[in-house]
Structure 1
Amino acid sequence: MEKFSQYRDRGTQIAPFLEISSPHTFAQLPLSITLLCLRFPFFLFLFIAYFGVLQWLPIGSLVRKACLWMILLVSGVWWVDLQVEGVKKGSLSKQSKKLPRAGTVIVSSFTSPIDILYLAAVFDPIFTTSYPNTREIERLSLLPAIIRSLSPPLSQPPPGTKLVTLPRLLAENPNRSIALFPECTPTNGRGILRFSPSLDSTPEDTPIFPISIRYTPADVTTPVPGWSTAGNFVWRLLSGGTHCVRVRIAGEIYNHPGEGEKPTYDGIEDEGYGEEVDENGYGSGSGPELKRRAGGAGVEEKEKPQSTLCVKGGEALARIGRVKRLNLGVKEKVEFVQAWMKNTKGG
């Protein structure tokens, strides 16, 4: 994949837009095909039953969540490793305020359709789409949110898109949390992209919960859009053994006065998430990071600075996910997808 090396982060050489493939041997193929044949009919039935019928019925939140968990279980998601920052194991039930709840904002990493299903099954939030150059967001129902995780990146809202402000969405839905994906586009989970300014409009008294969701194996991420990616995702999801979901929830942060407006130039400041990168491109999560961005693309191209709140949110996601913040965003993802599509077509 050297031809796509220009889409790596200059400081860390992490490539967040490339697909991740797990090694498979020919001997594993019969078992994979068997698992696919066993799971796919149940998966298809549950998927059509829920999104075609059940979601339109007044069945209640608990029943909806149970249906979504059944979809996850049939898919092989049998183990979820949940850790909450600042909470000891076994004491989470006594500290429910450490979890997202009605009237709060979830800032989630964005790597796979499973992100959407998991958040819906656990927190039942209102899903939204962020865009890189506006604070307004687009409200989505569950199925369009899943489709968006397999869709090409968008630099701006399509014509006719109905946008809404985050404070208005919170005010109109006091009994629900709001899920933001400020990276705006899926990655392979190896780094955190530049944030959209949509987070900056969060009301000052509204708790913000950064949530990092990662997978083992990591081949169920969908950084490359398209129907072929959707097919590969279903194959890897249903033909694999067990998929472990590692969920990390950071302590709540707030949009203190001025943090949603004060610019912070990525690349000049030390971000501090580890000097080493493992074989999969993940940071070690400890030690000072090199002040690498002064010579990065963001400074050369005079990238619009991020607010202090966006930097704080990105740092929280990087810390709990044990990855690094990258000086890449939607602009680079759009260019990568164009180059990828041209290469796959033999251009």
Structure 2
Amino acid sequence: MEKYSRWRDPGTGIHAFVPPVPLRGDRNGFQTFTSIAKSYILGPPLAFIKLTVAMILVVVFALLELVGQMLAPITLIQRAYTRLVNFVLLRSLLLLLGFYWIKSENVTVKKGARRSSSRTQPTRQSVQAGDIIATNHTSYLDVLYLGARYAPMFVTPTQTPGQVTVETIWSAFARSIRSPPLPETGLRLSDVVKTAKSNGCSVAVFPEGTTSNGRGILRMTKVFHGLEPDKVRVHVIGLKYEYEDFAPTFTVGNFIPHVFFLACQWINTLEVRYLISEEVQDLHTTLPANMTLNPDEGVMGTQIASLLNHATRLRQTSSLGVKEKLEFIAYYTERERKTRKSL
């Protein structure tokens, strides 16, 4: 791990980019045998079957998307059609990858505690057209989940504060795999929100701008710069992947082996944590006295970063962001190239 010490956050000691290693712990003989069978004996042929079916579903999804584009003149019908297609096919892809059940819960800023199921307790509000969904980003699977659950308009932060580029689900998925540099400019997020509202959909953004390994929250981009809190509704959602043998999180490396080994697993686990509505909507145009402004994130970004910390129960790094991730990818790729060359 020392070879990656340059990318250890000094404030928290977190390595946020290094691919996670299996959490072995103490295992008995049966558990060890099961792990070997899953990864090397029964898992590979099962993964081959799963991924073959997945490729068929991807082709079907692409064809049905073309049909959906023909419905563009009829907004209501197109929106209902898109949500149905996304839910059925993208959720099916997640099922094939072992996500049979996705656990969700409401959490609160107060120590990240779970909310009870009592009707008297505040709950999350449903996501409406024109709302912003802000989540942490650790895997290409995030795109599949959000696409299946909300069929949103995906956007990517740019280097210009308050501006984004609009993505298709295909390009959002590709960005989560490649982690390319952020675009220089785009459209104002406030204008994109208005467009999404007129189209009957929400806006999904990963404010970190790139993926982490799920051990901490990265430094936020200035994607929320210029937004007026009283004119937009934000939903803060934390995504967390539990694992023992193989981590669904993906920060760097080859996508194909990663998704293959992911498909080798019997079960994969995703936990979705929704911050309750009252605490998310209490955003301010100026920072509360108990918060310190991070100039790299802006006023609203600093507040949402704090809320993401509570939703995910993770600490935020102070020195790791998109720039450092690009440097890490370059170093990691070059190191892997030299390793292969020496073999």
Note closer, same or farther for the CA distance 1:85–1:203 as it changes in structure 2 (3 Å cut).
same
Contact 1:106 1:179 in 2 (8 A): yes
Does residue 1:249 correspond to 2:277, yes or no? no
Distance 1:60 1:138 in 2: 21
Contact 1:18 1:223 in 2 (8 A): yes
Distance 1:323 1:80 in 2: 20
Choose the corresponding residue for 2:241, options 215, 239, 243. 215
Distance 1:222 1:317 in 2: 19
Give the 5 Å matches for 1:334-345: 334-345=326-337
Choose the corresponding residue for 1:53, options 59, 63, 66. 63
Distance 1:97 1:27 in 2: 41
Counterpart AA for 1:36: A
Match of 2:187 in 1: 164
Distance 2:171 2:196 in 1: 19
Counterpart AA for 2:213: N
Choose the corresponding residue for 2:308, options 317, 322, 343. 317
1:240-270, CA deviations, whole angstroms, 9 ceiling, x for partnerless residues? 111111000113235533459xx9455xxxx
Give the 5 Å matches for 1:136-147: 136-147=163-174
Match of 1:66 in 2: 88
Match of 1:290 in 2: none
Counterpart AA for 1:121: A
Displacement of 1:204 in angstroms is: 2.6
Contact 1:215 1:246 in 2 (8 A): yes
Which is richer in helix? 2
Note closer, same or farther for the CA distance 1:90–1:30 as it changes in structure 2 (3 Å cut).
farther
Note closer, same or farther for the CA distance 1:254–1:202 as it changes in structure 2 (3 Å cut).
farther
Displacement of 1:131 in angstroms is: 2.8
Displacement of 1:27 in angstroms is: 3.9
Does residue 1:106 correspond to 2:133, yes or no? yes
Match of 1:17 in 2: 17
Q: Give unmatched runs, 5+ long, in structure 2.
A: 25-31, 69-80, 109-114
Distance 1:265 1:305 in 2: 9
When structure 1 is superposed on structure 2, of 39-48 and 53-62 the one drifting more is 53-62
Match of 2:45 in 1: 34
Distance 1:138 1:190 in 2: 27
SS in structure 2 at match of 1:19: coil
Displacement of 1:18 in angstroms is: 0.6
Counterpart AA for 1:306: E
Distance 2:257 2:315 in 1: 27
Give the 5 Å matches for 1:244-283: 244-251=269-276, 252-253=280-281, 255-258=283-286, 264-266=292-294
Match of 1:194 in 2: 219
Counterpart AA for 1:257: T
Choose the corresponding residue for 1:331, options 318, 323, 335. 323
Distance 1:91 1:70 in 2: 32
Displacement of 1:171 in angstroms is: 1.2
Contact 1:259 1:307 in 2 (8 A): no
Note closer, same or farther for the CA distance 1:97–1:189 as it changes in structure 2 (3 Å cut).
closer
TM-score, normalised via structure 1 length: 0.79
Percent sequence identity is 26
Displacement of 1:335 in angstroms is: 1.5
Displacement of 1:54 in angstroms is: 1.1
Counterpart AA for 1:335: E
SS in structure 2 at match of 1:173: helix
Distance 1:95 1:70 in 2: 32
SS in structure 2 at match of 1:69: helix
Displacement of 1:345 in angstroms is: 1.7
1:136-164, CA deviations, whole angstroms, 9 ceiling, x for partnerless residues? 0000010110000011341x416xx7x11
1:19-48, CA deviations, whole angstroms, 9 ceiling, x for partnerless residues? 113258544311211321231211111112
Displacement of 1:99 in angstroms is: 3.2
Contact 1:170 1:178 in 2 (8 A): yes
Note closer, same or farther for the CA distance 1:137–1:236 as it changes in structure 2 (3 Å cut).
same
Match of 1:289 in 2: none
Contact 2:107 2:275 in 1 (8 A): yes
Note closer, same or farther for the CA distance 1:33–1:11 as it changes in structure 2 (3 Å cut).
same
Displacement of 1:191 in angstroms is: 0.6
Note closer, same or farther for the CA distance 1:343–1:147 as it changes in structure 2 (3 Å cut).
same
Distance 2:263 2:225 in 1: 38
SS in structure 2 at match of 1:17: coil
Match of 1:234 in 2: 259
Displacement of 1:98 in angstroms is: 2.0
Contact 2:159 2:183 in 1 (8 A): no
